[in-house]
Amino acid sequence: LEAAAEIQDLRKFAYKAKYDGELCEAQQVLAKTREELVAKGAHVENLRHELAVHREASHQDARTIKSLEGECSRVESKFMGMHQELAAQKAKAAVAREESQELRAHAREAADLRGRAQASEAQLLGEEAALATRKLEVEAMREEDQELR
């Protein structure tokens, strides 16, 4: 009976030792798991911080893109205005060319008319000179005729 009690005690002791060993091993695994979780938590926090930095950079990039789009729109509007102004200037230049051609044609006509007028004036002067000469001849003939009478 005593031996059975002793065996029972030894079994309890062995069971307790085995349990204590497993408990110690489980506590070590738990401690190691806690360390890994803390490390992973720190890694997650680092990733969250990086994500926040990337989000802010992305928002800044979006603001920059929006600003550049606005600037492009303003430049495009200015370009269209300049393009329309250039078209208007081209139209004015075409009108001015037509007017210039008309003025040159009028100038040629005026030069032609001046030439004709000068020719007519020269002809008229020639005819006046011939008439004056004829008058002198007639006058001379009259005088001669009167002398003869």
| Strand (E) or helix (H) holding 65 | helix 2-148
For 28-77, the pLDDT digits (tens) are: 999 999 999 999 999 999 999 999 999 999 999 999 999 999 999 999 99
Name the pLDDT band for 23 (thresholds 50, 70, 90): confident
DSSP 66-84: HHHHHHHHHHHHHHHHHHH
Alpha carbon 52 to chain centroid distance? 34
| pLDDT of amino acid 7 | 80
Domain boundaries, the chain: 1-114
Q: How far apart are CA 5 and CA 11, in angstroms?
A: 10
Q: How far apart are CA 113 and CA 121, in angstroms?
A: 12
| Strand (E) or helix (H) holding 33 | helix 2-148
For 86-121, the pLDDT digits (tens) are: 999 999 999 999 999 999 999 999 999 999 999 999
Cβ burial 33-57 (10 Å sphere, 16+ → b, else e): eeeeeeeeeeeeeeeeeeeeeeeee
